[in-house]
Amino acid sequence: MLFRVDHASTVSLAGQIAVQIRVAVLKGELVPSERLPAARELATSLGINMHTVLRAYGVLRDERIIEMRQGRGAWVHPEVEPGFVRLGAIAEQFRAEARRLGLSQPEIRRIIEGTPS
């Protein structure tokens, strides 16, 4: 799989990587238990910091889209649920749009929770 990042995007570099992995899982381009590129390897190929890739992998791990195996790398979760992948992609789009609009964290929280301002 070929990853790309756009340094001019309003979406963080880690967010861009996470979105690309989510989409690849949704499309079946990445399948359960498939190994992802090593963080250092991916960072080098994209010309970014390895910690940026690890941040993306951490978000996807928290969403149960991937799992990280100590000393062995990152893998698509063997029991990945497409619904979670879709929700993760929607959440990332929402965060990017909220940042673009200049919303604060409390404003975003109120929108998500549906509470009045």
Give all domains of the chain, ordered by start, each with its CATH number.
13-113 (1.10.10.10)
Kindly compute the dihedral angle of the four CA atoms of residues 40, 43, 49, 55, in this order, to the nearest 10 degrees: -80
Number of alpha helices (DSSP H) and beta strands (DSSP E) in the chain: 5, 2
pLDDT single digits (tens) 85-115: 667 677 777 878 888 888 888 887 787 777 7
pLDDT single digits (tens) 49-93: 999 999 999 999 998 899 998 889 999 999 887 666 667 677 777
